[in-house]
């Protein structure tokens, strides 16, 4: 089966849940023998080589906040329409999904799948017109794609209630990791096992890192706060966070991390904290749980769905409650460890990529069959009219 992925920045993933999702899915599909192709943005990944059996197609984009994704998706659609013959086209995220109509106009017989990752228009970095366009992309995703995949049960309810469209619930996943000792992170940053709280996200306002910094500054602890991630066209917010940290030596901004360093950071954290105001279904949160780390998360539906009663929650946007919960975790290390084990078992059972790939392949197969059946039905009806 020849499969094309459109909408992601690229792989291997440097940051971003969508990119991690596509990387895991694409690599696993390639290992199963499928011809997998991923469009990448030249400002993210310039390579036209393959990655773990996945073919990369690098195209340029207009590297600005509002036009980066859509300009790249437009060029990817043109490349797909005029150069490629494929079995499945898989769009990711509602912004890129706004151009599904273009592909369907020129390739009406090729099945189009769209994965609805999050309601991006709630993200505070977007202005009025960008939010309106993202809502249009959501409409195209839910109404025009041949099949819609949603990554959370909350999004499934939303898509079915708002658009009357049956959506396939297939969540994000993680591969179970190897736990690593704190070697490199101790050498470079002095971080020891169980010696810090960890947060991993892009530094964007809706991720709520400012709440975490405010709460952390009001507790008395020798455990550090490690913040992993960079901004995304949000330089002013990053400056605001660093000003809020007020040169506190125990608050460490690590920037973007990946590979062995990120694995060590997950492996040795005391617990993971996610203070986001909105999410799709956070891969960083699932990864933390896979590393046997207890999670303290804001009580938004997507976070509560992920932890499923085996994590800790605080009231969304409430610094006082977040501070209170951090203190409770500091004074109950046995409970933190126990919930870390519970979280690991939950991820292993519900968010394992091996099972997720099988489910997505089933969607591909069914969509191809349905498309072929519709084509045959149209032929029969046309012949009857001619007779």
Rounded-to-5 percentages of helix, strand, coil across the chain: 50, 15, 35
Q: Which long-range contacts (CB under 8 A, 24 or more apart) does 13-16 make?
A: 13/258, 14/44, 14/45, 14/256, 14/258, 15/202, 15/229, 15/230, 15/256, 15/258, 16/202
pLDDT score of 167 more than 60:
yes
**Residue 127: its pLDDT value, please?**
86
Distance CA 183, CA 190 (A): 10
CA dihedral over 174, 291, 244, 297, signed as positive or negative? positive
Distance CA 206, CA 19 (A): 19
**Residue 23: its pLDDT value, please?**
93
- Strand, coil or helix: 354: helix
Distance CA 52, CA 217 (A): 43
Mean pLDDT of 72-79: 96
Distance CA 373, CA 272 (A): 48
pLDDT score of 64 more than 90:
no
Per-residue pLDDT tens over the stretch 137-163: 999 999 999 999 999 999 999 999 999
74 pLDDT band, cuts 50/70/90, is very high
316, 298 contact by CB (below 8 A):
yes
Domains of the chain and CATH, by start: 2-173+352-386 (3.40.50.2000), 184-350 (3.40.50.2000)
65 pLDDT band, cuts 50/70/90, is confident
Mean pLDDT of the chain: 92
Q: How far is CA 339 from CA 39, 146, 293, 304, 312, in A?
A: 39, 40, 8, 14, 9
pTM exceeding the 0.75 threshold for the entire prediction: yes
**Residue 198: its pLDDT value, please?**
98
Share of the chain above pLDDT 90, in %: 78
- Strand, coil or helix: 137: helix
**Residue 59: its pLDDT value, please?**
94
Per-residue pLDDT tens over the stretch 206-223: 999 999 999 999 999 999
**Residue 103: its pLDDT value, please?**
96
What six digits make up the tokens of 329? 């975790």
């Amino acid at each position: 089966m020849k499969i094309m992925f459109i909408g992601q920045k690229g792989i291997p993933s440097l940051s971003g849940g969508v990119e991690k999702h596509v990387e895991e899915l694409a690599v696993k599909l390639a290992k199963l023998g499928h011809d997998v192709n991923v469009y990448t943005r030249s400002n993210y990944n310039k390579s036209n080589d393959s990655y773990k059996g996945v073919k990369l197609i690098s195209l340029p984009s207009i590297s600005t906040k509002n036009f980066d994704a859509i300009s790249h998706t437009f060029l990817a659609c043109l490349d797909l329409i005029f150069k490629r013959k494929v079995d499945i086209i898989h769009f990711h995220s509602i912004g890129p999904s706004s151009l599904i109509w273009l592909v369907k106009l020129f390739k009406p017989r090729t099945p189009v799948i769209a994965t609805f990752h999050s309601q991006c228009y709630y993200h505070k970095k977007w202005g009025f017109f960008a939010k309106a366009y993202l809502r249009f992309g959501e409409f195209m995703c839910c109404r025009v794609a041949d099949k819609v995949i949603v990554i959370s049960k909350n999004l499934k309810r939303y898509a079915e209630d708002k658009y009357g469209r049956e959506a396939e619930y297939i969540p994000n996943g993680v591969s179970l990791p190897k736990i690593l000792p704190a070697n490199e992170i101790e050498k470079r940053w002095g971080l020891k096992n169980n010696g810090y709280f960890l947060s991993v996200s892009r530094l964007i306002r809706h991720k709520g890192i400012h709440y975490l910094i405010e709460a952390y500054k009001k507790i008395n602890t020798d455990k550090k706060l490690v913040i992993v991630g960079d901004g995304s066209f949000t330089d002013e917010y990053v400056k605001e966070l660093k000003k809020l940290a007020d040169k506190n030596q125990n608050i460490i901004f690590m920037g973007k991390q990946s590979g062995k360093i990120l694995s060590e950071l997950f492996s040795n954290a005391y617990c993971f904290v996610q203070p986001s105001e909105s999410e799709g279904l956070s891969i960083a949160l699932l990864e933390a749980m896979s590393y046997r780390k207890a999670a303290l998360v804001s009580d938004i539906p997507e976070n509560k769905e992920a932890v499923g009663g085996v994590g800790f929650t605080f009231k969304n946007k409430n610094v006082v409650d977040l501070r209170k919960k951090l203190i409770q975790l500091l004074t109950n290390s046995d409970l933190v460890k126990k919930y870390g084990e519970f979280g690991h078992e939950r991820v292993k059972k519900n968010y394992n990529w091996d099972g997720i790939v099988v489910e997505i392949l089933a969607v591909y197969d069914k969509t191809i069959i349905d498309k072929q059946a519709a084509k045959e039905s149209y032929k029969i009806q046309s012949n009857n009219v001619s007779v």
